[in-house]
């Protein structure tokens, strides 16, 4: 290894005296050198000699030189000179005597929120200028964000850094820094835009705030796949001290869809400025007032007036919560009543499946409401009616309370629906003859007949248009009449909540 280092040692390049190597990549090496004209330090980037025979790498190196020459901005490393000596092609740029962002991570870990925002704003400023000149960096990462002793922040390595890392990947097959900051569209080989740089800057900001990159993996492809398909954990989950607006900014910069990211680097700057403006709007007096309010809320009262005021506030808050609860309960109960009403309308029109669905909603979603018990009874009735109309269907059912059915018949009488009520009472007197409801129905029917003084049997004549759908006429003896059934066409159900009696009466016990 030492022999290789001695072999690769460069003492000078043109007029520049090489002092030390400060960086090495897959395609180039960077040295700190001395400029004899000024006596100051400069950085010299040299293309690896083995690659000078490959035209594609030479073109990329020259393209980076041309890009840097076209960019003059205080946030971008300035190019000073270009030269060639023997096998070495190089260019000279200003030397940054501070650590790169990558080295600062290793030294300090995550940044404070203000420092991270300042760093992101400086890089966004440089990107805004570069984008305005038609240049897309394509390789924003901590190693390319440089600082000097005065705290200035500058962006380096325009144009070929992405290609350098891609070449190194082909050779080594391992993970390199670029994969951790690569935008989804860049990973997929799609067209790279200004918003690709915004995504990469968002990943850098994420790392500055949390101390870790959003995605890791055992291989390069694992990381690339995560950038394409995995939603990163919110930075606020990893660092609760991050303000919500800052976390939302980072998340928006790292959207998978470029259209959902900030429209430009200028918009990123505007959002950072807005965040800092909100933090700086409180005056010292307002901060003191806020502290007093917190102290007042957290510490015991010092006199009876303060204590009374606090109790009053607590009572008002409790009252507001109670009223809100009553409102929610009222809405909850009225919703149950509304559903029950819809079920009754469906039941009256003979739509048993629809009615059953409404009643089951009431019992399931509103078990504590008054309508729940009533809905449960209606469900029993629907199951009974459905079973009687369709004997072949094996439906578990529970016979409804005949007294409730009798009360419904009485309600029909009160509503003036006499014929329907008499028909219903007749059914009850036969199908439920051994129950209290059936006996009361028979008595009521006898009373109605006696009141009319007609001396007719308890079974009234069929309603006009035939019996309800699925009903069988019943003769005076209480037995089903098959002939009458054959002569009676099936019609729509009677407008009653209990249409559809038995096809045949149940045998008496």
Nearest C-alpha neighbor of 25 from the set 204, 156, 154, 135: 156
Please give the full DSSP string across 415-476, using - where no structure is assigned.
TT-HHHHHHHHHHHHHHTTTSHHHHHHHHHHHHHHHHHT----SSPPPPTT-SPTT---B-T
Q: How far apart are CA 448 and CA 442, in angstroms?
A: 10
Please give the full DSSP string across 357-384, using - where no structure is assigned.
HHHHHHHHH-TTSHHHHHHHHHHHHHHH
Nearest C-alpha neighbor of 443 from the set 385, 301, 173, 435: 435
Look at the chain and count its residues.
509
> Residue 26 — φ and ψ, nearest 5°?
-75, -15
Kind and range of the H or E element at 30?
strand 28-34
Q: Which residue has the tokens 């529970």?
A: 398
Nearest C-alpha neighbor of 342 from the set 351, 331, 355, 352: 355
Residues forming a β-bridge with 21: 31
Number of other residues whose CB lies within 10 A of the CB of residue 427: 22
H helices of 80-160, in order, are: 101-108, 113-132
8 Å CB contact between 491 and 465 = yes
Q: How far apart are CA 281 and CA 5, in angstroms?
A: 56
Residues forming a β-bridge with 93: 43, 79
Which residue spans within 95-240 are E strands per DSSP?
A: 145-147, 153-155
CA distances from 68 to 76, 81, 130 (A): 8, 11, 10
Which positions ≥6 away from 75 have C-beta within 8 Å?
Answer: 122, 123, 125, 126, 129, 153, 154, 155
8 Å CB contact between 499 and 467 = no
Query: Could you list the active site residues?
Result: 139
Ramachandran region, residue 453 (left: φ > 0; alpha: ψ -120 to 50; beta: rest): left
CA distances from 427 to 5, 56, 500 (A): 108, 97, 10
Q: What value does the CA radius of gyration of the chain take, rounded to a whole number of Å?
A: 43
């Amino acid at each position: 290894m030492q022999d290789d280092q001695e072999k690769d040692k460069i003492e000078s390049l043109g007029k520049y005296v090489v002092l030390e190597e400060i960086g090495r990549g897959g395609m180039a090496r960077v040295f700190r050198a001395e400029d004899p004209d000024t006596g100051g330090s400069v950085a010299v980037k040299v293309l690896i000699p083995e690659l000078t025979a490959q035209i594609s790498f030479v073109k990329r190196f020259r393209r980076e030189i041309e890009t840097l020459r076209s960019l003059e901005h205080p946030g971008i490393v300035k190019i000073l000179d270009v030269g060639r000596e023997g096998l070495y092609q190089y260019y000279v740029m200003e030397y940054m005597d501070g650590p790169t962002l990558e080295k600062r991570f290793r030294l300090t870990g995550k940044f404070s929120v203000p420092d991270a925002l300042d760093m992101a704003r400086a890089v966004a400023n440089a990107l805004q200028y570069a984008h305005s000149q038609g240049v897309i960096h394509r390789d924003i990462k901590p190693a390319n964000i440089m600082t000097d002793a005065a705290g200035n922040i500058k962006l380096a390595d325009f144009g070929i850094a992405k290609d350098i890392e891609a070449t190194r990947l082909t050779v080594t097959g391992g993970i390199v820094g670029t994969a951790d900051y690569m935008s989804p569209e860049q990973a997929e080989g799609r067209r790279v835009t200004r918003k690709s740089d915004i995504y990469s800057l968002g990943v850098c900001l994420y790392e500055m705030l949390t101390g870790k990159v959003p995605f890791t993996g055992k291989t390069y492809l694992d990381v690339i796949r995560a950038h394409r398909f995995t939603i990163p954990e919110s930075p606020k989950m990893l660092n609760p001290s991050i303000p919500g607006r800052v976390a939302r900014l980072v998340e928006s910069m790292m959207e998978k869809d470029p259209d959902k990211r900030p429209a430009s680097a200028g918009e990123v700057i505007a959002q950072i400025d807005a965040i800092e403006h909100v933090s700086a709007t409180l005056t010292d007096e307002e901060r003191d007032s806020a502290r007093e309010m917190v102290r007042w809320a957290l510490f015991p009262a010092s006199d009876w007036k303060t204590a009374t005021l606090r109790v009053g506030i607590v009572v008002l808050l409790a009252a507001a919560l109670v009223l809100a609860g009553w409102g929610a309960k009222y809405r909850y109960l009225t919703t149950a009543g509304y559903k029950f009403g819809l079920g009754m309308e469906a039941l009256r029109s003979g739509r048993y499946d629809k009615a059953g669905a409404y009643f089951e909603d009431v019992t399931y979603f509103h078990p504590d409401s008054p309508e729940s018990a009533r809905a449960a009874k209606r469900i029993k009735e629907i199951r009974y009616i459905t079973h009687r109309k369709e004997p072949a269907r094996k439906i578990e059912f529970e016979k409804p309370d005949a007294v409730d059915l009798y009360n419904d018949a009485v309600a029909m009488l009160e509503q003036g629906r006499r014929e329907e009520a008499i028909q219903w009472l007749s059914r009850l007197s036969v199908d439920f003859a051994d129950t209290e409801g059936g006996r009361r129905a028979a008595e009521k029917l006898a009373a109605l007949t006696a009141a009319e003084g007609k001396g007719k049997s308890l079974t009234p004549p069929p309603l006009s248009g035939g019996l309800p759908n699925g009903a069988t006429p019943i003769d005076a003896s209480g037995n089903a009449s098959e002939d009458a059934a054959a002569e009676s066409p099936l019609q729509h159900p009677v407008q009653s909540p209990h249409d559809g009696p038995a096809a045949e009466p149940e045998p008496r016990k």
